[in-house]
Amino acid sequence: MEECALSRNNAQVWCFGSFALDKASFQLMHSESPVAIERQSLRVLIFLNRHRDRVVSKDDLVEAIWQGRAISY
């Protein structure tokens, strides 16, 4: 994802295709309309973008997003 010039209240926004992710407001937009998405899914998206320069393991995700809690998938 690239950072784009969009900002809301000086917040950093990541743009990818027709989507924009406002990290400060924790909101995903598609063509300027809010997207209904679960909070955990947004956290995963933010984490993956922050670590886009490397392969992220399942264990990395579980620790960062779920703080080691057991999850099923």
Q: Which domains are seen in the chain, by residue range?
A: 2-66 (1.10.10.10)
pLDDT score at 49: 85
pLDDT score at 64: 92
- Which pTM value belongs to this model? 0.73
Which residues neighbour 52 within 8 Å (Cβ) at sequence distance 6 or greater? 1
**Chunked mean pLDDT (size 10), the chain, 73 residues:** 52 84 90 92 91 92 85 69
DSSP-derived pairing of the beta strands 13-16 and 2-3? antiparallel
The torsion angle over the Cα atoms of residues 4, 8, 9 and 11, rounded to 10 degrees, is: -40
